Amino acid sequence: MLCGVVSVRPDRPDWVETLREERLFLGSVMGSLEGWLGVRSLRTLELRVERQSQNAQRLVDWLVGEVAAAGEGRESAVGELVDRVMHASQQKEAKEEGSWLRKQMPNGYGPVFALFMKDENKARGLPSKLHLFHHATSLGGIESLIEWRAMSDKTCDKRLLRVSVGVEGWEDLKEDLVQGFKALKAEN
């Protein structure tokens, strides 16, 4: 749901009349149910975003660790299939005390991150191997989503997966990813 407020400067009364006419002909007034759902949703927004950011950070840290371990020779289905993980927390500035990034995001780096797989076919296949993650383009819901980006954007890297982490237990999400990576690896 998208909603907002239109504000105009008091010294521009012509805008007010134009907006009033557009509203008369186009509608653009949120329904009562939608307004109530928006208010109800806002009451838990902070809690949901904090939980989603924490879950994402744990998953990103785990994935980055698995990729690094595979680079050191340790066996890991994740490390064998994932080329790199991109998340705001992995930027150099995120690790610097007082950096612009840490000032901008003091309570976490958000629930969305990207995975680049080593193989395009594995990237295409991973979403279908997962049980808790839904294969969807939408971001921002309370459920965890994964999207093979090339499905809707033919210009992007075919190895790119975009992940939006929900409010589920991060351990459950991790286990879902583990079983998905193992299933992909078993297809060889």
Give 38-75 pLDDT, tens digit per residue: 889 889 989 999 999 999 999 999 999 999 999 898 98
Torsion of CA 155, 160, 166, 169, to 10 degrees: 170
Q: How confident is the model at residue 24 (pLDDT cuts 50, 70, 90)?
A: confident
Taking all residues of the chain, what is their mean pLDDT, rounded to a whole number? 89
Based on the structure, what is the number of domains in the chain?
1
25: confidence class by pLDDT, cuts 50, 70, 90 = confident
pLDDT at 1 over 70: no
Q: Is residue 123 part of a domain?
A: yes
Q: Measured between alpha carbons, how far is residue 140 from residues 7, 49, 137 in Å?
A: 26, 9, 10
Specify if 118 maps to a domain: yes
CATH code (residue 143): 3.90.1150.10
In a domain, 23, yes or no: no
Amino acid occupying residue 105 = M
Q: What is the length of the chain?
A: 188
Q: Is residue 106 part of a domain?
A: yes
Strand partners, 116: 84, 160
Question: Is the confidence at residue 11, as pLDDT, over 90?
Answer: no
Q: In this structure, is residue 133 part of a structural domain?
A: yes
Within a domain: residue 3?
no
More confident residue, 65 or 21: 65
Burial class (CB in 10 A: 0-12, 13-18, 19+), 43: exposed
Q: Answer yes or no: is 11 within a domain.
A: no
Look up the domain containing 150 and give its range.
48-186
